[in-house]
Each structure stands twice: as structure tokens, then as C-alpha cells.
Amino acid sequence: MSNNEVKKAEGKLGVLVVGLGAVSSTFMTGVLMARKGLAKPVGSMTQYDKIRVGKGADKKYLKYNEIVPIADLNDIVFGAWDVYPANAYESAINAEVLKEKDIEPVKEELIAIKPMKAAFDHNYAKRLTGDNVKTVKDRWDMTEQIREDIRKFKKETGVDRVVVLWAASTEVYVPVDEKVHGSLAALEAAMKADDKEHVAPSMCYAYAALAEGCPFIMGAPNTTVDIPAMWELAEKTKMPIAGKDFKTGQTLVKSGFAPIIGTRCLGLNGWFSTNILGNRDGLVLDEPANFRTKEVSKLSTLESILVPEEQPDLYGHGNDEDTQYYHKVRINYYPPRNDNKEGWDNIDIFGWMGYPMQIKINFLCRDSILAAPLCLDLVLLSDLAARAGRYGTQRFLSFFLKSPMHDYTKGEVPVNHLFQQYTMLKNAIREMGGYEADEEID
């Protein structure tokens, strides 16, 4: 596919973020500061990474924007929805992630980003009490109101394209129900019947985005776009979807470190991960039903990298009732830490003749500082995918996500191995740039 098949990034790119909390206010502030030359977008692949194109004498290492037309930071226009009425400046100050000196220079621009009323259902996040909320008749009306917001935002700002990004809280776990989620017609019927149990507010956002011709990115572990009905809508509207759950701290470590154990053919008896965090994310995850959504997302990473069936001698030990290593994930709400969460990984491995060893990883990370560049990359690359005519699940974006979308109805296993995900990302950029996708995933 040659270069000219990807539409140029002309005009402005609207970025509508669901949730104006710690992550999104940090993301917005960083972009605004970077375009003034007052901060550097460290951690962003689209801004820093260089990948090889061509081989032999034709070999070059280029930045993404030298290979494909990526929207410029200067062309981004932000908007948001939130249950709290605080503007982006107040939100950035309240989040206490960034120092005031790193917010003040873009204060005016941040003040101008005022959140629209959120489509919200208290039952999906019982710990949130904001009142900047839409009054809706049913789930279909909720979706229609979000669509109207998107249209209005486009008209008022004059942006050419919009990407919708979910950076709001983790919702209560919604198990996939074939009868409701299995087809687009069934989902629409459930929305019109106001089936609150099976239709989460996030599904209304995703539906509205796709229906309005906007790529949609799920940054929480919600099952929103993990359902056949949404895949069908993405195909119908020819829009990209990506999800789910920003891969920031502990899972990033896991997806990068597990390959060491696997590549070196060492055995694994158990992997215990625990987290302490104190921001709004931690507060919401303190609710068991919300934690369940997160647990499912975090647990899936390891099992597809170190597969017991493939190496029973190495990974086939563990619990009595189970034939594999023991894998446990815990999240503890601990307010003093706020956004500076701490992840401990305690890994029990064994080597030659079965002798046990341990690895301890203690990651004192800043959640929003790690998530902000992921937001930027996911937005820019989803916009690129849309202009390149790529629609449906964007598997090449798995690198940025904790539990990558995959077609489980066909038994597809997601790629969770960080370096395989990186190969997928590079190959997609090469293809869209008119080069050959020339790296294999072994």
C-alpha cells in the first residue's frame, strides 16, 4: 500500500475525553506545555520512537511522522465529559499529580476546557457522587445525547476529525451476554428497552462515537468494546476501535519481564502482584464489583506469555486444583499515596533440578505520568488508522493496552508479550507508510 492511500492529517483533530480526572488533566496539560516548548512528551512512542524501514542498503531509521502522516500536537483541540463540573485547570490542580509551576503557563487554555455533562449511572461507579450529569429517558436517549455533544463540539470548534477516548473510572463488571451483546441489533434493542444491567454507560459513549464517525479507545478494563455488537458497529461505520485498559505500571513490567523467564526456559511456581494507590481510580476499585473488572484484565497478561500447555515442566505447577503456576493480583486503596502508586511483584521461579529462586520488583510509579503518553499515542494512532481506512479492532495498538481486544468467539488468543506487541506496532506503521511489514512475530 503506497503512501498516498493514507489521507493527510489536515485541519484540527478533536480529542474528546470521557473523564476529566488525574489521567486526562495530566495528558492535556502535557500536550499544551509540549507545544509551547515548556515540557517534553517523554514516554510517547509517536513523538520519540524511531523504527527501521527497508533493508540492506535501503535501511533507514525514521520517526513515525516521517513514515506516516500523524497529526501535529499543535492541531489538537481538547474537550471532555465528567460527572464533576471542574474545568481542566481545576482538575489538574486537584489531582496533585503535577506541580503548579507545570500547570500555570497553560492555565488559560486549561480553564477553557469545561466538561460537558456526563452520561452516568451511579450503579456502575457507586463511589462517585458528582452531579454534572445528564438527565436521560433511557440508554438510547443517553446515546443520542452523547452524539449531539460530539456534533456540537465539532461545530463550535471547527475540528475536522474527532477521536473519543475513555479515561474515566472502571465500571462494575459486565459479563458478556450473547443475547444482548452478540449482535448490533440486539444491543440497540436493549438500549431502547433501557436494559441498565447489560448496557453500561461506556457502551453508550462507544456507540455514539462510532455512529458519529469517531474512533473509540477504551482506556479502562470495561467490557465496552469487547463485544461482537461493537465489532459489528465498527465494521458498519468503518471506524477503528481499541482497548482495553492503559498498560501503565505493573502490567507493563509483567509483559516485559515474563519473556525473560520464558526465553531463558526457567520454571514459574507463582507470581503475586499487589498494588497500593490512592487516587479516584483506587477509590472506585475499592468496590469489589469494580475490582472484578480490573482483576480479569490484569490476570490475562501472564497466561498467554507463559503457557502451561506448551511447557508443562516449566509452568505446569501450582495450585492443587489447578495445573499451572499460582497467579494472584491485588489492589489496595491507600489514600496517602494518591497518584503515586506502588506495585510489588513477588515472583517464585525455579531452575536447574527444580531449585527455587525469587525475584522481587518494586515499581514506585506515577500512574498518570505513565498513562498520559499512552493517551497521546492511542489518540494519534487511532486517528491515523481511520485515515488509512483501517477499521474494527486495531490489534497493532495492543502494545499500549493491558488486555488487548481479540475475537474470543473464534478462539483467538491475544498477544500479551511486549516485544511481540512492539513488532505488531512497527509492522502496522511500516504498512501504512507504504513499506513492507518485514518483521516476523516468533
Give pLDDT tens digits for 40-64.
Answer: 999 999 999 999 999 999 999 999 9
- Asked, for residue 200, whether it belongs to a domain, the answer is yes
Q: Which pLDDT value is given to residue 309?
A: 86
Same domain, 197 and 345: no
Residues 263 and 348 in one domain: yes
How many CA within 13 A on the CB side of residue 422? 11
What pLDDT is attached to residue 318? 54
**pLDDT above 70 coverage of the chain, percent:** 97
Using 50, 70 and 90 to split pLDDT, how confident is the model at 107?
A: very high
Domain identity same for 137 and 230: yes
Domain count, the chain: 2
Encode 394-419: b = buried (16+ Cβ within 10 Å), e = exposed.
bbbbbbbbbbbbbeeeeeeebbbbbe
As a whole number, mean pLDDT of residues 103-110 equals: 98
pLDDT at 320 over 80: no
99 in Cβ contact with 38 (< 8 Å): no
417 against 291, higher pLDDT: 417
Band of pLDDT at residue 103, cut at 50, 70 and 90: very high
Predicted confidence band at 3 (pLDDT cuts at 50, 70, 90)?
Answer: very low
Q: Which among 364, 385, 406 is the end of a domain?
A: 364
Q: How far apart are alpha carbons 403 and 251 in whole angstroms? A: 9
**Residue 359 to residue 382: CA distance in whole angstroms:** 37
Are residues 91 and 142 both part of a single domain? yes
Residue 203 lies in a domain: yes
What share of the chain in percent tops pLDDT 90? 85
Phi, psi for 34 (deg, rounded to 5): -65, -40
Residue with cell 492511542: 378
Tell me, yes or no, whether 441 lies in a domain: no
* E strand intervals along 339-413: 342-350, 356-364, 392-393
Domain presence at residue 53: yes
Per residue in 336-366, pLDDT (tens digit) is: 988 899 999 999 999 999 999 999 999 999 9
What pLDDT sits at residue 322? Answer: 62
The reply to whether 99 and 187 lie within a common domain is: yes
Q: Is 304 left (phi over 0), alpha (psi -120 to 50) or beta?
A: alpha
Residues 231 and 351 in one domain: no
442 assigned to some structural domain:
no
In the block, cell 501504512 appears at 432
Closest residue by Cα to residue 300 from 241, 254, 268, 262: 254
Q: Is the pLDDT of residue 4 over 60?
A: no
Cell matching residue 245: 485498559
Based on the fold, state whether residues 76 and 155 are members of the same structural domain: yes
The helix/strand/coil state of 87 is coil
8 A C-beta contact, residue 177 and residue 28: no
Domain finish residue from 311, 342, 364:
364
**81 beta partners:** 18, 116
Nearest C-alpha neighbor of 255 from the set 391, 424, 46, 440: 424
Contact of 135 with 104, CB cutoff 8 Å: no
Q: Is the pLDDT of residue 431 over 90?
A: yes
419 shares a domain with 347: no
Q: What is the pLDDT of residue 180?
A: 97
Residues 44 and 177 in one domain: yes
Strand segments (E) across 255-335: 267-277, 326-333
Mean pLDDT of the chain: 94
Of the residues 364, 385, 405, the one at which a domain ends: 364
Q: Note whether residue 437 is domain-resident.
A: no
Query: Has residue 91 got a pLDDT over 70?
Result: yes
What's CA 285's distance to the chain center, in Å? 17
**Local confidence band at 427 (pLDDT 50, 70, 90 cut-offs):** very high
Q: Tell me the pTM.
A: 0.94
Which pLDDT value is given to residue 1? 34
Mean of the pLDDT values across residues 392-420? 94
Together in a domain, 353 and 409: no
pLDDT of 125 higher than 60? yes
Q: Helices 201-211 and 228-237: crossing angle, nearest 10°?
A: 20
Residue 119 confidence class, pLDDT cut points 50, 70, 90:
very high
304 and 372 in a common domain: no
Is residue 215 over pLDDT 50?
Answer: yes
Predicted confidence at residue 282, as pLDDT, reads: 81
154-210: per-residue pLDDT in tens? Answer: 999 999 999 999 999 999 999 999 999 999 999 999 999 999 999 999 999 999 999
Is 265 found in the same domain as 117?
no
CATH of the domain at 222: 3.40.50.720
Mean pLDDT of 280-300: 80
Domain that holds residue 158: 3-246+368-432
CATH code where residue 335 lies: 3.30.360.10
- DSSP sequence for 107-124: HHHHHT--PEEB---GGG
